[in-house]
Chains A and B, each alone.
Chain A
Amino acid sequence: MSTIELLGRQIEVDSDGNLKNLNDWNEDIASEIASLEGIEQLTDRHWLVINFMRKEFIEKGDGPTVRRLTKESGIDTKELYALFPKGPAKKAARIGGIPKPKGCI
């Protein structure tokens, strides 16, 4: 079992380094993970994406791909990459406390 220390707590993570339990997550934890990922400040636009990711995961059992994010969240691809450099779906999933979407294989 791997854990990561966030805000003074040991929290269980999966093999990708994403939180294992949905319930371990809260907004402060999200901000802490974001800063580890190099995102200093989570803006409203970030939260829009993160909340969309969590909603999709809870409803469908998997997070969306970048393509689905673009189509459904109303944020275009260019901005998604500006908000979450390198991999929007992967990064937003990690910050949102859900597993890496299977679509980003």
Chain B
Amino acid sequence: MKKLVILGAGTAGTTMVNKFHRVMDPMDWEITIVDHNETHFYQPGFLFIPFGVYNEEDVIKPKRDFFPKGVNVVMEIIEKIVPAENKVYLKDGTELVYDYLIIATGSDIAPEETEGLKDKLWQKCIFDFYTIEGAMKLAEFFKTWEGGKLVINITEMPIKCPVAPLEFAFLADWFFTKKGIRDKVDIHFVTPLSSAFTKEKCAEVMSDYLIEKNIKTTVDFSTGRVDNDNQKIISWDDMEVPFDCLVTVPTNKGNDCIARSGMGDELNFVPTDKYTLRSKAHENIFVIGDATDLPSSKAGSVVHFQSEVLFENLMSVIEGREMKARFDGHANCFIESGFGKALLIDFNYETEPLKGQYPVPLIGPFSLLQETRMNHFGKLMFKWTYWNLLLKGRDIPVSNEMSMKGKIQE
């Protein structure tokens, strides 16, 4: 009996367990998936919670609803991986032996990395929206907030879903306009990047939106600490931004079990071949999603595209063939821009987001890098796609590799 072990049952792990279970003969293969949390969170939905668009029930389902029958499910904290022994040790002392291992342990916020962030103002007037607790607390706060300085701050890169902080700023503009207190809310977007977004073309479009929506932007701001007494964030080079409400995107780190295993970089991300998705250090270990150190976005759409490549390549390794599939860095993201509209961007390692139609050239129905109502519906419909197709490892009618069809090149 051969053993495939998958660590992590988030978007990536759940997708992979479904893909492999479908093709692996249960007489020959034992598949085990490990996680310590019974609840699956639809993370793209967290963004909408502070503004009362979604509530908790919209974004949670039991993880077990998405595991196929016949797979071993182990709910326990991962202590460490010992690649030299081909073993995973769990906190309760269990040892799992594997022939092949898939690491899909994700990334989480680490507010404790920044001095003064998780201090006396934490969840009083400093909130994150990358956890369900943070998003819910912020929703409560916004219900009665009468306005002031709202600062949205990215602490350092890389972060999960690099567009989410921008979307938050746009939705805040819409939310407070609707509430009739936009004139009392001073929205300030503070980023360590040199422009509004990681990709240049898109950054130009985004910065126009920020100006149009009267959102102040500060770039090149690397957050060093939070001064709780004077309600200010202070950069490493002593720039100061005062806040009444701070919405922080803290440092993102890979799972602690990666550090305990000595397999990660300085942020616990696992060094991974950017094309094959195999661990750089171990031939029978593959890595997917937020857990990797790839220079691609940390997002669900990326996991979907990676899942096809990882599946092909691991099957090749198992069957003794050469790995042929290559991940091209493909990502696509809807960007909520408020007032019932959204943009869509589609890009990869080499190609910047361009204008055009997606996924069908000239037809769409989605417009790239332009604000439309259809894109907004696409974003909302994606929740259905996520629960019903993506997690179950089903095909989605968009190409795995990024296509230049339907894109306008300048």
Binding site for B on A (CB under 8 A): 65-68, 71, 77-78, 80-82, 85-87, 90, 102-105
Q: Are B222's CB and A66's CB within 8 A?
A: yes
Binding site for A on B (CB under 8 A): 156-158, 162, 192-194, 198, 220, 222, 224, 235-237, 265-267, 295
Given A68-B265, A71-B266, A87-B194, the answer on whether A78 and B236 have CB atoms closer than 8 Å is: yes
Q: How far is the CA of A103 from the CA of B159 in the complex (A)?
A: 11
Q: Are B266's CB and A77's CB within 8 A?
A: no
Q: Are B220's CB and A87's CB within 8 A?
A: yes
- Min CB distance, A94 to chain B, in Å? 12
Q: Are B220's CB and A86's CB within 8 A?
A: yes
- Min CB distance, B113 to chain A, in Å? 9
Q: How far is the CA of A77 from the CA of B265 in the complex (A)?
A: 18
Residues of B within 8 A of A77 (CB): 224, 236
Which chain A residue lies CB-closest to B265?
Answer: A68
- Min CB distance, B166 to chain A, in Å? 15
Residue in B198, B222, B236 whose beta carbon sits within 8 Å of that of A105 in the complex: B198
Q: How far is the CA of A77 from the CA of B113 in the complex (A)?
A: 13
Instruction: Give the one of B157, B236, B265, B267 with max A CB within 10 A.
Output: B236
Which chain A residue lies CB-closest to B294?
Answer: A102
Q: How far is the CA of A67 from the CA of B236 in the complex (A)?
A: 13
Q: How far is the CA of A77 from the CA of B222 in the complex (A)?
A: 10
Given A67-B156, A87-B194, A87-B222, the answer on whether A80 and B236 have CB atoms closer than 8 Å is: yes
- Min CB distance, B203 to chain A, in Å? 11
Q: Are A81's CB and B157's CB within 8 A?
A: no
Q: How far is the CA of A81 from the CA of B222 in the complex (A)?
A: 9
Residues of B within 8 A of A71 (CB): 266
21 pairs, CB–CB < 8 Å, chain A vs chain B: A65-B266, A66-B156, A66-B222, A67-B156, A67-B266, A67-B267, A68-B266, A71-B266, A77-B224, A77-B236, A81-B222, A81-B236, A81-B237, A86-B220, A86-B237, A87-B194, A87-B222, A104-B157, A105-B158, A105-B198, A105-B295
Residue in B156, B162, B237 whose beta carbon sits within 8 Å of that of A82 in the complex: B237
Residues of B within 8 A of A87 (CB): 192, 194, 220, 222
Q: How far is the CA of A71 from the CA of B237 in the complex (A)?
A: 19
Residues of B within 8 A of A66 (CB): 156, 222
- Min CB distance, A52 to chain B, in Å? 14
Q: Are B224's CB and A78's CB within 8 A?
A: yes
